[in-house]
Homo-oligomer: A and B are copies of this chain.
Amino acid sequence: MNKKPLILVTNDDGITAPGIRTLIEVMNGIGDVVVVAPDNPQSGMGHAITVNTTLRCNPVTIDDGPQLEYSCSGTPADCVKMAVNEILNKKPDLCVSGINHGANSSINVIYSGTMSAAVEAGIEGVPAIGFSLLDYNWDANFEASKTYVKTIVESVLTNSLPEGVVLNVNIPNLKSEEIKGVKVCRQALGNWKEDFDKRVSPQGEDYYWLTGKFVNLDKGQDTDIWALENGFISVVPTQFDMTAHHFIQKLNTWNL
């Protein structure tokens, strides 16, 4: 009999978010689950780590599932470091992060706490997947996601990811029967057109809210944005070697 895989679950919306509760439920059907997740929302934290202050990490019970859970004061990347180096006594077979409330497609991979946890696991040599549903609402409906999350996790456990590669999975906000399937994609080229909302405090001081609109600059039909707009789940293999290898040769012709 095969031993059950040890699965680390984390996220960036906080340990009580409906998205991670759904992910834990699905993972309980696949392996032994340990949850180490932030005690408060960490959206937009990118790959931040806590170097100038202390961390707390304590066992908690949130529901009556079989998983072990720890609530951590740090960022998603901190949670993964804490889990792998302090809480678990063996390296997990898989780390899953999410399910995020909101998209992490295109350039959002770089701002995403959800994906930074998956990337951190990858850096530590743990196969990893970040899951996101295209619905920012707290009461988003994760029902349709469950089957696909299960299939993708089982595929990763069966096929293995190469070193240095994690998966970025985004799920369109559709009913099960409307989802057309899963597409392997590249990250679309896009960025945010910011619009700072400038206000004046009661004390007469200027302050700003960061707001903005995502702009897709990429007409390719092999991108995550295209897949999601056309009813598919997007899976982007994502790496943390950020070297622009294609530019090394040219850069060597400069007189530096």
Binding site for B on A (CB under 8 A): 41, 43-52, 54-58, 74, 77-78, 81-82, 84-86, 107, 109-111, 116, 119, 123-125, 151-152, 155, 159, 161-162, 164-165, 182, 184, 186-187, 189, 191-196, 198-199, 205-210, 235-245, 247-248, 250-252, 254-256
Contacts and interface: CB of A to CB of B under 8 A. Distances in A.
A119 B110 contact: yes
B255 A155 contact: yes
A238 B247 CA distance: 9
A184 B46 contact: no
A185 B218 CA distance: 29
Nearest to A233: B256
A86 B212 CA distance: 12
A254 B155 contact: yes
Given A208-B55, A244-B237, A256-B152, A196 B49 contact: no
B191 A256 contact: no
Contacts of A86: 194, 196, 198, 208
Nearest to A161: B247
Where chain A touches its partner, the secondary structure class is: mixed
A233 B186 CA distance: 33
Contacts of A41: 52
23 contacts: A41-B52, A44-B51, A44-B52, A46-B46, A51-B210, A55-B196, A81-B192, A85-B194, A85-B196, A107-B123, A107-B240, A110-B242, A125-B191, A151-B256, A159-B254, A164-B244, A165-B244, A184-B248, A184-B251, A187-B242, A237-B251, A238-B244, A240-B242
Contacts of A235: 251, 256
A60 B84 CA distance: 43
